[in-house]
């Protein structure tokens, strides 16, 4: 009688196994290595006298005194989304409610479509999408395909890579004069993709990191104004765009 054959064992080469483990470990390290919000920003999770903060799909809803307009905000790459609460609270207090969205692995490139759930779940007359650095670039990319659903775009130290023209579409671009992270050549080339009447603001003395409260960023320049001054100027420009100022 013939003996049954034993199934062949699948042998994974040792080098391949080591490579897979190193790659997995590298991915875990990269995701866990991010800029965390400072205590001053975390303290705002309780809200302010004028802004109530609650959960929303993939993030936080900042409900201020305004009822007509709202801004959906994407964080910068590897930045904890709550680091932008000080800036967004200023905007919400000024009359434009905000949605601070959390991204998978703190990377907006992995959650570019997250604005859709907010647009579907809330009712405002005017909608604006925005973001900082990579978050701004991802917001611009999503906005380019959904201009009919939005009234405008806010880019903080960011630039578009797709056409943003639209007769009723407003764009605000804000960056600091001492920004050492933003690619200025791409910022300049991105101007060709903007609507003809877009608004650009260079904050004198501002840097890349101070749109949020997460500490100094590698490669950034040295600011000559305070973080509060940079965020105050930014909030004022945003509220002028949304019509709440």
Contacts of 224 (CB under 8 A, 6+ apart): 178, 204, 205
Alpha carbons 107 and 109: distance in angstroms, whole number: 5
Say if residue 207's pLDDT is above 80. Answer: yes
- Res. 171: pLDDT tops 60: yes
| Tokens standing for residue 183 | 């690619």
Which is more confident, 10 or 223? 223
Does residue 223 fall inside a structural domain?
yes
- Residue 25 has what pLDDT? 47
Q: Does residue 79 lie within any of the structural domains?
A: yes
Confidence bin at 244 (pLDDT 50/70/90): confident
The answer to whether position 184 is within a domain reads yes
Q: What number is the average pLDDT over the span 173-185?
A: 98
For 102-235, strand residue ranges (E) read: 126-132, 152-156, 170-176, 199-203
Q: What is the mean pLDDT of residues 9-16?
A: 63
Assigned token pair, 225 = 């104004």
Pinpoint the alpha helices (H) of the chain: 14-32, 39-42, 85-93, 115-121, 134-144, 184-190, 227-242
Whole-number pLDDT of residue 28 = 54
Residue length of the chain:
245
Secondary element (H or E) of residue 78: none
pLDDT 10s digits, 25-61: 444 555 567 799 999 999 999 999 999 999 999 999 9
Would residue 47 be called left, alpha or beta, if left means φ above 0 and alpha means ψ between -120 and 50 degrees? Answer: left
pLDDT category of residue 13 using cuts at 50, 70 and 90 = confident
What's the rounded Cα separation, in Å, for the pair 17 and 25?
Answer: 12
Domain assignment present for residue 33? The answer is no
What is the total count of domains within the chain?
1
More confident call, 81 vs 25: 81
**Model confidence at 145: pLDDT above 70:** yes
Reported pTM: 0.88
Cβ neighbours of 33 (radius 10 Å): 9
pLDDT for 197 equals 85
Whether 149 shows a pLDDT value over 60: the answer reads: yes
CATH of the domain at 196: 3.40.50.1820
What range defines the domain where residue 153 resides? 50-242
pLDDT band at 79 (very low <50, low <70, confident <90, very high): very high
Average pLDDT, the chain: 91
Residue 27 lies in a domain: no
Report pLDDT for 50.
Answer: 97
Residue 43 in domain = no
Euclidean distance between CA atoms 65 and 69, whole angstroms: 11
Distance (Å, rounded) from C-alpha 231 to C-alpha 88?
A: 9
């Amino acid at each position: 009688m013939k003996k049954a054959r034993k199934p062949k064992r699948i042998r994974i080469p040792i080098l391949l196994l080591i490579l897979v483990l190193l790659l997995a470990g590298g991915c875990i390290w990269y995701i866990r290595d991010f800029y965390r919000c400072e205590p001053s920003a975390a303290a705002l999770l309780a809200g302010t006298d004028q802004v109530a903060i609650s959960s929303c799909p993939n993030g936080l809803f900042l409900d201020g005194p305004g009822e007509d307009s709202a801004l959906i905000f994407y964080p910068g790459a590897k930045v904890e989304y709550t680091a932008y609460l000080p800036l967004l609270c200023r905007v919400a207090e000024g009359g434009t409610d905000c949605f601070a969205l959390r991204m998978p692995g703190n990377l907006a490139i992995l959650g570019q479509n997250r604005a859709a759930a907010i647009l579907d779940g809330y009712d405002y007359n005017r909608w604006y999408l925005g973001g900082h650095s990579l978050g701004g670039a991802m917001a611009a990319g999503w906005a380019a395909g959904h201009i009919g659903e939005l009234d405008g775009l806010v880019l903080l130290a960011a630039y578009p890579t797709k056409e943003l023209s639209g007769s009723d579409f407003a764009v605000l671009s804000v960056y600091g004069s001492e920004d050492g992270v933003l690619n200025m050549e791409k910022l300049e080339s991105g101007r060709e993709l903007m609507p003809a009447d877009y608004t650009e603001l260079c904050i004198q003395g501002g840097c890349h990191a101070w749109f949020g409260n997460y500490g100094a960023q590698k490669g950034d320049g040295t600011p000559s104004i305070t973080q509060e001054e940079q965020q105050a100027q930014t909030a004022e420009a945003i509220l002028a765009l949304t019509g709440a100022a």
